Structure 1
Amino acid sequence: MIADYRKRFWVSLAATLPILALSPMIQAWLGLEAALDFPGDRFVLAGLASLVYFYGGWPFLAGLWRELRAAAPGMMTLIAVAITAAYAYSVGMVVIGSEATFFWELATLIAIMLLGHWIEMKSVMGAGKALEKLASLMPDTTHLLAEDGSVRDVAVADLSGGDRLLIKPGEKVPADAVIVRGQSSLNESMLTGESKPVNKGPDDTVIGGSINGEGALTVSVAHTGDDTFLSSVIRLVEEAQASKSKTQDLANTAARWLTVIALGGGAATVAFWALLTGQGFGFAMERAVTVMVIACPHALGLAVPLVVARSTAIAATNGLLIRDRTAFEAARRTQAIVFDKTGTLTLGQFGITDTLVFDMTYGERDIVAYAAAIETQSEHPIAKGIVAGTDAAWAVDDFRAIPGKGAQGVVQGRQVKVVSPGYVRDAGHQIDDLRFEALSAAGKTVVFVLIDGALAGAIALADMVRPEAAQAIADLQAMGIRCIMMTGDNAQVARWVAREIGLDEVIAEVLPQEKAAKVQEIQARGLVVAMTGDGVNDAPALAQADVGIAVGAGTDVAIETADIVLVRSNPNDVAAILHLARATYGKMIQNLAWATGYNAFAIPAAAGVFFPWGLILSPALGAVFMSASTVICAVNAQLLKLRKRPSAPVEGSADARPVGAQRPAAGSSS
């Protein structure tokens, strides 16, 4: 369609130049009546104008027919009526031998309307370019590994699940897959908005469309075609852009009324100037044509769709996927947000929060290093948390598990035990340190380290709070949103997490089947509630909430139930999507205010209200103003931006630890 409008514009412009030269009014202005006058010039003028009317004006005439068949007169109706009235009147004047024609106004009007539509459509397409960029992420060919180890290039479209591929450094990943061999960093910025490359190795998943970094990878294809993550993103964006917007309903209603006002105003303008002022039918007709052209509700009709296209594209390219457009618009009114704890505000991984030293022969680093040497033999989540707390690589000899109580072994020539508080008490050791009582009261898990039979120290662990959680909560509270955590965990742990990140309210020890009812209770306070979660047990609550937000690392059930999906498990994205919802609505209102305010002023001006002061708008100038109004709305939509979000620290890095906790590092024994 853009190419069609461009072609019609250039043909119409080429015909408009001789039309201007042959128009009596233009000749009079330039003093060239004698030079350009020849027999039959009026018929040549009418012929060229007919070319412009039927060829250049065809999109508007066809649009008139479509709108009338749909019983929904609008912009195309106004333009078609305006150019048809001008053309019919001018042809009639030629037939009766009069030179009072509108041919040059008609030609310039159509040329400018075509140019305006061409520019407007390019602006509209610009808002949706993200989909083209997403689609272009997938390569056309890839390297298929045969069973004998040979490699051949095949079309990505021919891949099937289980195929093994070789992805060389710098190449795009052709499909969702699992790494079989190799390690590398992958750039997923176009899909997730995360600029930092993500390090991945065997058994990690890679997303089709991401860019491989420095290492060669062998991967096994998991999803192809429409089942890939990228395809689902494109599908969600298309659905969101096509879905009905409540704000668009308001704009459509206003556009319908504007059409009625313009048609009625055009008729009233003719009657007023021709019958009541004696200005003549030609002058009256020119005013009526200008009224209908300048009143075209193009800007009003595009005010909302342009913003919708822009916001969904921004969201998709930053890992924020909108599944329900209506819910996204409702998100701007969010007054309270309910977070699930594990996996959303926390990593679901244990990390060291405190280290207690009872025997001053050792330092905190030593206590952790001895314990980590023992725990390297265990797969328990607490053991993994201790091991992650040090970079020591001390070997352990004579390792043995203490069933239900811990483990023991020989480290650095010393007998070391890492055990539970129950084992310590059973062994007759006194635990009279008030710090232990405080840590237990906070709901933290505490393990004790015995070295050569003596109580040397203790290590407290807790589910690791996401480093970005505190900032996300602060941002949401700055937006006037009440932040609530709902968890099945015990009240002590929940209150500790709440203190660490500054939550407004905690609802703890909630059974999975009770979560939806708890959301309903919050709604009963008169609050518009958003719910964020990632597990199967969050799905009913996500559905109950006014806005359901699933983190992409969650289950398929949670994602299918939610209105918005966050690709990254980053609480900052929750604040980002709510901020984008508010900014999107603001842009919609700005565009609607401009479009309606513009017409409120322009229609009277086109009708000739300012004629006594010498201000008259021609149809061509009216077309310029109408197109300019739409371009302003398009530019304003393009100014919509996503507030810059902090990058998520890599899980397991030095930043991904309990808030306020000091990470111990191994040191040598005293």
Structure 2
Amino acid sequence: MPSTPSLEESTERDVELAVDGMTCAACAVRVERKLNKLEGVTASVNYATARASVSASPEADDDTLTGTVEKAGYQAEVIRPFVAEEPRQHATDRTRDLWRRLVVAVLLFIPLADLSILFTVLPQARFTGWQWVLVALALPVAGWAAWPFHRTAFVNARHGSSSMDTLVSIGVLAASLWSLYSTFSGNGAPAGISGLGLLLNSQGAAYLEVAAGVTTFVLAGRYFEARAQRKAGDALHALAELSAKSATVLLDDGSQHEVPVERLRVGQRFVTRPGGTIATDGRVVEGRSAVDRSSMTGESVPVEAAVGDEVVGGTTVTNGWLVTEATRVGRDTRLAGMVRLVEEAQTGKAAVQRLADRISAYFVPAVLVLAVLTFGGWFLAAGSVEESFTAALSVLIIACPCALGLATPTALMAASGRGARLGIFLKGYQALESTRDVDTVVLDKTGTVTSGEMSLVDVACGEGVDRARVLRLVGSLEEASEHAVATAISAAARAELGELDRVESFDNEPGLGAVGVVDGCEVLAGRAKLFDERGLTVPPELERQRGEWEQQGRTTVVVGCDGAVLAVLALADLVRPSAERAVHRLHRLGLRTTLLTGDNAATGRAVATEVGVGEAIAEVLPGEKVEVVRRLQAEGSRVAFVGDGVNDAPALAAADLGLAVGAGADVAINAADLILVRQDLTVVPDGIELARGTLRTIRGNLVWAFGYNLAAIPLAVLGLLNPLIAGAAMALSSGFVVSNSLRLRRFSSGTDRQG
């Protein structure tokens, strides 16, 4: 039965809203504040993803939530779970609109700037009505192309608020109106004669090309920003698109019927043919095939799936066909959970980003006041309206806080999208912050460093005894048992010899072994104590081998037939092939490693030595794992715990950084900070490297965003910054933050870099 997420037991419900019309971090803060004023509502709004993640009581219905956003001056609609097409379409439409306006702005601004320079350098080139030519070129840019800025500024003003668009709109309108006033009143310089003179910040300039230039630069910044944000979110869309659209259900009478995947129910059987996508999570009941899981886990080699194996919805059957019984559907599937994890990660905010958002909310009004003071100060000092207007206009344009709002979310979007492709899922900014100080990695042995399944690794036969005969006898006997050791022995014998013989008079000896008749021979298999109780002696050479294997931490089984000891078998929970490479890379990252196991000290030491772990803590009961983590923390260590089972959940939650590896249990996944879905253990250092790289990128973004404003605003106040250059610099600032974040999309596995 699929486990029920604990969130579903709560009376609260989670709602995702697509919010349209936000243009800067201040907008996101305003929407967030309005939603949080509703009783029983907790909301977080992300400007970069244009989404609001809302936890609401039943009283706050969808209409109430969307209505609240609309009253704040924006549009909103509820996103259906795991349907990525709607918000993606919004982003596509916005990008196209920005592109159209940008093309018009560029086509008109270039001749406007050229003519302005020409008329400035060569006054004799002017002709009757030349001013009207410049006005005709400028007004469509300052009006139609800049309309999104004016519209948003007007809506904000109607609600008594302001945003980045308020600054842009006021700057563009002020420059345009001043130029028109100069043209029709005859005061100041003729309209448009700013070109080269304005670039040199000379006096007597009017500002038609400033209005057009600022509009063009800001539109260009917005367009490339929107494209980059859409690219950063493409991985989420691609992940959601992995799901099958329909399933071929196998009915009780053997007939097949195709249904939409949403109609699949737990317990139903469905068929997947070669090249088809597995419709939902399930257990194979018939057939055999290699399954390509690369799109979900980053594994390059397909994994064999046969009867009894678990398969994951969204993966592809390559060379066979499978009949699968659905075990999870809808929101409970692994794919849905992965999409949910990426969405949650992309809506996260760092503490410093929340501070930046709060600053942005007050920043715009402060800039408006500063622009007025700058104008007044320059007018009192110089007595020139031209100089005063230039300085104030530069302040309005350069101070736009767009980069502040993009610093964290764009990096999280890029990192979470790339991580999903590599089988790494970041659960928000907290996971990134935790990786910064971690110095010790505690690895749970069973199921994490090892496969968690017993395997036959060696056979020592007595003198003159045939190995094949031993395997046939003991394999046939153990096939009647359900014990993990017996299952491993029978599987190894079947793989080497094919069909086994039928066992008769089978009798299980709890805690000791089993006895039965195979091919007329009474076969005995189990611990040495079982043979001692029956007065049978293990030959010295076999006894010596048994002792050596047990010192190495292996499990031994003695095999006898008709009163004679034939052989000793060695079994082990095999270490994953990737474990040694993973530990080596963790050490290269400067991390200390510790192995945690419930096995005896000899087994713990043997496994630790094999993979290169520095310390082994053995004979730890499941409930004691969390105590080990807390003890290490009490000693001053910052601990990352890597585990996969139900009994690992307390330790994952208690650790400074919890990493759930492989398929994992639901409770372990809920407790972890990073979910690592590949079975390859090198995903552990990959996850830590990705998290640390993302954290560095976010910090670099914030340093740039804050530093840019702190450095540029004083230059504008002092009159040292041209408005055109201010517009270009503001657009480039946002572009830098977004492009810096997009570098995370090129993050590659350490194994790939080494190979």
For the superposition of Structure 1 and Structure 2, which TM-score range results when normalised by the shorter chain? 0.7 to 0.9
For 1:457 and 1:217, how far apart are their aligned partners in 2?
A: 39
**Secondary structure of the residue that 1:531 maps to in structure 2?**
strand
1:382 and 2:502 matched? no
Q: Which residue of 1 aligns with 2:409?
A: 305
Q: C-alpha displacement at 1:120, in angstroms?
A: 1.0
Q: Which residue of 1 aligns with 2:64?
A: none
For 1:269 and 1:308, how far apart are their aligned partners in 2?
A: 37
**Secondary structure of the residue that 1:449 maps to in structure 2?**
strand
AA aligned opposite 1:293: I
For 2:556 and 2:158, how far apart are their aligned partners in 1?
A: 75
Q: Which residue of 2 aligns with 1:429?
A: 537
Spell out the pairing of 1:137-536 with structure 2 (5 A cutoff): 137-249=242-354, 251-252=356-357, 266=371, 270=375, 274-276=379-381, 280-359=384-463, 361-362=464-465, 371-372=474-475, 374-389=477-492, 391-393=495-497, 395-396=500-501, 401=506, 403-404=508-509, 405-407=512-514, 417-426=524-533, 427-429=535-537, 432=540, 433-450=543-560, 453-536=563-646
- Specify whether residues 223 and 374 from structure 1 end up closer, same or farther in structure 2 by C-alpha distance, changes over 3 A only: closer
Q: Which residue of 2 aligns with 1:667?
A: none
For 1:439 and 1:147, how far apart are their aligned partners in 2?
A: 51
- Specify whether residues 397 and 534 from structure 1 end up closer, same or farther in structure 2 by C-alpha distance, changes over 3 A only: closer
1:90 and 2:179 matched? yes
Q: Which residue of 1 aligns with 2:146?
A: 57
Q: Which residue of 1 aligns with 2:233?
A: 128
Q: C-alpha displacement at 1:573, in angstroms?
A: 1.8
Deviations 1:404-433 (A, max 9, x none): 244567889987643421133342526655
**Secondary structure of the residue that 1:165 maps to in structure 2?**
strand
Q: Is this contact kept in 2: 1:400–1:407, CA < 8 A?
A: no
Deviations 1:368-422 (A, max 9, x none): 6664454444433222333455643175476554642445678899876434211
- Specify whether residues 482 and 67 from structure 1 end up closer, same or farther in structure 2 by C-alpha distance, changes over 3 A only: farther
Pick aligned residue for 2:727 from 618, 623, 628:
623
**Secondary structure of the residue that 2:496 maps to in structure 1?**
coil
For 2:236 and 2:103, how far apart are their aligned partners in 1?
A: 29
AA aligned opposite 1:87: S
Q: C-alpha displacement at 1:115, in angstroms?
A: 1.8
- Specify whether residues 446 and 20 from structure 1 end up closer, same or farther in structure 2 by C-alpha distance, changes over 3 A only: closer
Deviations 1:187-231 (A, max 9, x none): 111111112112112333332221221212233333333333222
AA aligned opposite 1:79: V
Structure 2 unaligned segments of length 5 or more: list them.
1-93, 191-204
For 1:192 and 1:70, how far apart are their aligned partners in 2?
A: 47
For 2:342 and 2:142, how far apart are their aligned partners in 1?
A: 38
Pick aligned residue for 1:8 from 101, 113, 119:
101
Q: Which residue of 1 aligns with 2:126?
A: 34
AA aligned opposite 2:411: V
Q: Which residue of 2 aligns with 1:662?
A: none
- Specify whether residues 173 and 451 from structure 1 end up closer, same or farther in structure 2 by C-alpha distance, changes over 3 A only: closer
1:561 and 2:674 matched? no
Q: C-alpha displacement at 1:268, in angstroms?
A: 6.4
For 2:467 and 2:121, how far apart are their aligned partners in 1?
A: 94
**Secondary structure of the residue that 1:461 maps to in structure 2?**
strand
**Secondary structure of the residue that 1:230 maps to in structure 2?**
helix
Q: Which residue of 2 aligns with 1:76?
A: 165
Pick aligned residue for 1:574 from 684, 689, 694:
684
**Secondary structure of the residue that 1:196 maps to in structure 2?**
coil
For 1:607 and 1:26, how far apart are their aligned partners in 2?
A: 30
Deviations 1:102-153 (A, max 9, x none): 1121012102211220111101111110011112222333434444444444
AA aligned opposite 1:174: A
Greater mean deviation of Cα atoms: 170-179 or 231-240: 170-179
**Secondary structure of the residue that 1:342 maps to in structure 2?**
helix
Q: Is this contact kept in 2: 1:368–1:459, CA < 8 A?
A: no
**Secondary structure of the residue that 1:183 maps to in structure 2?**
strand
**Secondary structure of the residue that 1:422 maps to in structure 2?**
helix
Normalised to the residue count of structure 1, the TM-score between the two structures is: 0.83
Q: Which residue of 1 aligns with 2:196?
A: none
For 1:161 and 1:372, how far apart are their aligned partners in 2?
A: 35
Greater mean deviation of Cα atoms: 372-381 or 546-555: 372-381
For 1:21 and 1:350, how far apart are their aligned partners in 2?
A: 78
Q: Is this contact kept in 2: 1:531–1:547, CA < 8 A?
A: yes
For 1:457 and 1:512, how far apart are their aligned partners in 2?
A: 34
Q: Is this contact kept in 2: 1:351–1:461, CA < 8 A?
A: yes
Deviations 1:503-541 (A, max 9, x none): 233333333333323322211122222222222222222
Greater mean deviation of Cα atoms: 130-139 or 44-53: 44-53
AA aligned opposite 2:532: R
Identity %, equivalent residues: 34
For 2:173 and 2:369, how far apart are their aligned partners in 1?
A: 16
- Specify whether residues 401 and 69 from structure 1 end up closer, same or farther in structure 2 by C-alpha distance, changes over 3 A only: farther
**Secondary structure of the residue that 2:448 maps to in structure 1?**
coil
Spell out the pairing of 1:636-655 with structure 2 (5 A cutoff): 636-640=740-744, 641-644=746-749
Greater mean deviation of Cα atoms: 531-540 or 435-444: 435-444
AA aligned opposite 1:385: A
Q: Is this contact kept in 1: 2:503–2:518, CA < 8 A?
A: no
Greater mean deviation of Cα atoms: 558-567 or 617-626: 617-626
Q: Is this contact kept in 2: 1:246–1:326, CA < 8 A?
A: no
For 2:584 and 2:156, how far apart are their aligned partners in 1?
A: 50
For 1:321 and 1:223, how far apart are their aligned partners in 2?
A: 20
Q: C-alpha displacement at 1:332, in angstroms?
A: 3.0
Q: Is this contact kept in 1: 2:273–2:321, CA < 8 A?
A: yes
AA aligned opposite 1:429: T
Q: Is this contact kept in 1: 2:477–2:506, CA < 8 A?
A: no
For 1:34 and 1:471, how far apart are their aligned partners in 2?
A: 74
**Secondary structure of the residue that 2:587 maps to in structure 1?**
helix
Deviations 1:58-107 (A, max 9, x none): 33344446777899866334323432432343343345323252112101
AA aligned opposite 2:421: T
- Specify whether residues 591 and 111 from structure 1 end up closer, same or farther in structure 2 by C-alpha distance, changes over 3 A only: same
**Secondary structure of the residue that 2:594 maps to in structure 1?**
strand
Q: C-alpha displacement at 1:256, in angstroms?
A: 6.9
AA aligned opposite 2:98: Y
**Secondary structure of the residue that 1:338 maps to in structure 2?**
strand
- Specify whether residues 436 and 224 from structure 1 end up closer, same or farther in structure 2 by C-alpha distance, changes over 3 A only: closer
Deviations 1:527-578 (A, max 9, x none): 2222222222222222222222223422222222222222234432222111
Greater mean deviation of Cα atoms: 193-202 or 620-629: 620-629
For 1:163 and 1:448, how far apart are their aligned partners in 2?
A: 44
**Secondary structure of the residue that 1:447 maps to in structure 2?**
strand
Q: Is this contact kept in 2: 1:172–1:208, CA < 8 A?
A: yes
Q: Is this contact kept in 1: 2:272–2:321, CA < 8 A?
A: yes
